[in-house]
Amino acid sequence: MANLIAIRRKYDELTLQWQETLYQPVDCEVLRESAKFIQPQHYNEVIEERNVDNLCGYPICSKSRQQIDSNYRISLRAREVYDISELKHFCSRTCYVASKFFLSQLSPEPIYLRNLNKWNPVKVIPVGVDVRQMLAKETESTNQVDLGSEYVKAMTNNLPPAPSDIIIKENVNEAPAASVSYNNQAHDVVEGFRVKVPVKERRRTKKELPMTMFGKIWTTLDRITTMNTRMYFKDNKAKVDHTVDSDQYELMMTRINIFSEKILTSYNFIRPILPITVDIVNDLVDLMRTFKLDRQSVMLTETESNVLCMVFLHALSMNIPELHKNIFPTDDTNNNFRKTLESMGLTMEELEAFTRVIRVSST
């Protein structure tokens, strides 16, 4: 179990690195290589994060996304209503189609289960190229290869059989070895001196130690916790100020939605394990609305989302007695909550330290 968690954590971090690479415009080869390490949902997160920076959602495009006021287009000729809301994420219809074509080739298989040595490369459509033209050219070239193969096959079938008395031998003549002469009178070393050979200087690279899971969660909680968070735990009925500058409002709301979706996904996974019978979804959402999120905070791996969800549940249980009874029905150290926490590689002492960060600390 521990080995499986370690392997999944390793590939989650690798996926996160590739996502961060795709935030900025890349070339076709980089996008093609990234398909090995991301799933469809990871690619959709890349599109959302690029849109936050007002970039076209297609990772190899450097243009700004287009501004569309309406979510629908009415065709009077076809008498149909078309949903064009997804076009807002891209600079043009060409990039939208190219992005959908790339997305359709991504495998939903978990990264840690893939055989990366036998991975079939995906096709990437360059910027400005129509997918129909590209596929038509590939079909034409394939047909030409097939015609050539058929022609060669037909010609070889018409050849007469080779005579039976012909013997084919391999040429085994060996080339004479080159003679090497040595001059015993020549010396490169004089007494007291030595030939100086230029040596390339070695750069001293500073080896960065990977951050532990405890360090990542602690850093994330310390960065997102605000004064509103402490006020929420002090009196969850008090009015909490969620106001954000108008210029940053849309950006902050997008990040809160992404963050909340990941935590609630983890909650739906953890809830039947503990089990939790009381409805606390609104409490979780209200708590997450007090956070101040940056780009790094919303890019969570599955393991990090699960750990943060456990922290939030433990913190809320101090304010919600029914929740505390659900997750700690007895004082037994072998209850489901502790077992679930240990499967994530953490202890109750570490969890309590995380809880103190969001209930006491603030920024």
Segment 220-276, tens digit of pLDDT: 998 899 888 988 888 765 555 555 555 567 778 888 888 999 999 999 988 888 888
Over residues 6-19, mean pLDDT: 89
Structural domains of the chain in order of their starting residue, each with its CATH number = 2-132 (1.25.40.820), 213-360 (no CATH)
**If you average pLDDT over every residue of the chain, what do you get?**
79
pLDDT of residue 143: 52
Tell me the C-alpha distance between 208 and 299, whole Å. 21
Tell me: the pLDDT tens digits for 90-132?
Answer: 999 899 999 999 999 999 888 888 888 888 889 999 998 877 6
What the block records as the tokens of 126 is 């360059």
| Rounded (5°) CA angle 151-157-160 | 130
Burial of residue 362, with CB atoms counted within 10 A of its CB: 0-12 exposed, 13-18 middle, 19 or more buried: middle
pLDDT exceeding 70 applies to what percent of the chain? Answer: 68
- How confident is the model over 55-78, as pLDDT tens digits? 999 999 999 998 887 766 666 666
pLDDT (0 to 100) of residue 169: 60
Read off the pLDDT of residues 181-192 as tens digits, 9 standing for 90 and up: 444 444 444 445
DSSP code for 35: T
Q: What does the CA dihedral 263, 266, 268, 269 come to, rounded to 10 degrees?
A: 180
Q: Cα dist. 343→25, 42, 171, 231, 267 in Å?
A: 38, 24, 67, 32, 16
Q: Looking at residue 242, what is its pLDDT?
A: 52
Q: What percent of the chain has a predicted confidence (pLDDT) above 90?
A: 33
Q: Which residue has the higher pLDDT, 331 or 214?
A: 214
Highest mean pLDDT among 103-107, 191-195, 358-362: 103-107
pLDDT of residue 275: 82
Which of 91-100, 302-311, 335-344 has the lowest average pLDDT?
335-344
Lowest mean pLDDT among 79-83, 96-100, 308-312, 347-351: 79-83
pTM of structure = 0.46
The predicted structure's pLDDT at residue 197 = 57
Mean pLDDT value of segment 321-332? 82
Whole-angstrom CA distances from 127 to 99, 101, 180, 236, 287 are 10, 13, 59, 50, 42
In angstroms, the CA 328 to CA 325 distance is 5
Mean pLDDT of 337-362: 86
User: Which pLDDT score is estimated for 38?
Assistant: 94
